[in-house]
Amino acid sequence: MSGNVSISQEGNGKVSRVIRMGTRKSQLARIQTDSVASRLKELYPDVHLEIVAMSTIGDKILDTALSKIGEKSLFTKELENALERNEVDIVVHSLKDLPTSLPSGFTIGAILQRENPHDAVVLHPKNAGLTLDSLPEKSVIGTSSLRRAAQLKKRFPQLEFENIRGNLNTRLKKLDEKDDYAAIILAAAGLKRMGWDNRISQILSPEDCMYAVGQGALAVEVRAQDRDILEMVSVLHHPDTVLRCISERAFLKQLEGGCSVPVAVHTEVKGSMLYLTGAVYSLDGADCLKDTMQMCVEIDNEVSESAQECVHVAVTANNISSSALDAAEKLGMDLANVLLNKGAKDILTTARKLNDAR
């Protein structure tokens, strides 16, 4: 047992282990952390979980587009600092907020089964019953994501796209209480976790808008040297989600993409085959490079014994076949290289420069 995990003496003389979970303060972050806590409680009834909530830079700077703040660890830095100082033992994140490389000493110890990863259209109440296709021309759509804006500008040239920031509650309030936006685009997963399924007017298909790397999946970040905590949370890994997300993260990492460039993906596991579609876009969506590749990710029973061998794009999954993990990572890198050979670097560099100049 790690020396830094606190122990509490219960009234009945029984010793119970205390594990502190770090989370952002937003309602969605709390809901996500609570869902992981309840899974851990079911699996380890003797463990006492304490939830520690804190604000991050991304929560505090609400008037600037995310892509302008500088993308790395916007919603994760303070949480990682607490992890480093042993103030918390595990941190729950939306996987899409976690960079493809983590600071030394940290790893993703669990990726849970993915919620619907697609984007959703939430309409202003006055537009109930409409879709992006049927909204009046020049309607303003709110989105804080360059990836969504690039794809949707190309697909719906008759609409206008403007930046909108804030957590889910804030964005919905801005939509409903003002007349600035005809609709906003949000991740379906967040709306579902908040219990706001009834606000989803339309789920965007991959033809309309592919999703962000890791979208819809929750990740548990831990200290890499805490072997017992790593082992404890590893049972939360959902193998198909892990393989899909490793291929997506490897694709993004090889492209050197991040929040400040439009990169989108779509993955599927069918039998032993993993399919990855990836794309890069110019900011206005006019330039696009897109391709699909697949690879066999047969889950054999050869599970990695050595922790060192089994870290893939910052994910440690010692309980999943290492050959399957290797194949998923290779698929992401191979697809990125195909797009880079077609000129993806130029599209991304231009997008980054234009975004910085805004």
What is the reported pLDDT for 100?
A: 92
Print the SS3 string covering the chain: CCCCCCEEECCCCCEEEEEEEEEECCHHHHHHHHHHHHHHHHHCCCCEEEEEEECCHHHHCCCCCHHHHCCCCCCCHHHHHHHHCCCCCEEEEEHHHCCCCCCCCEEEEEECCCCCCCEEEEECHHHCCCCCCCCCCCCEEECCCHHHHHHHHHHCCCCEEECCCCCHHHHHHHHHHCCCCCEEEEEHHHHHHCCCHHHCCEECCCCCCCECCCCCCEEEEEECCCHHHHHHHHCCCCHHHHHHHHHHHHHHHHHCCCCCCCEEEEEEEECCEEEEEEEEECCCCCCEEEEEEEEECCCCCCECCCHHHHEECCEECCCCEHHHHHHHHHHHHHHHHHHHHCCHHHHHHHHHHHHHHC
Model pTM? 0.89
- Give the model confidence (pLDDT) of 80-105 as tens digits: 889 999 999 999 999 998 989 998 99
- Give the model confidence (pLDDT) of 146-185 as tens digits: 999 999 999 999 999 999 988 888 999 999 999 999 999 9
- Give the model confidence (pLDDT) of 246-286 as tens digits: 999 999 999 986 666 899 999 999 999 999 999 999 999 99
**Would you please indicate which residues are annotated as catalytic (active-site) residues?**
97
What is the reported pLDDT for 259?
A: 61
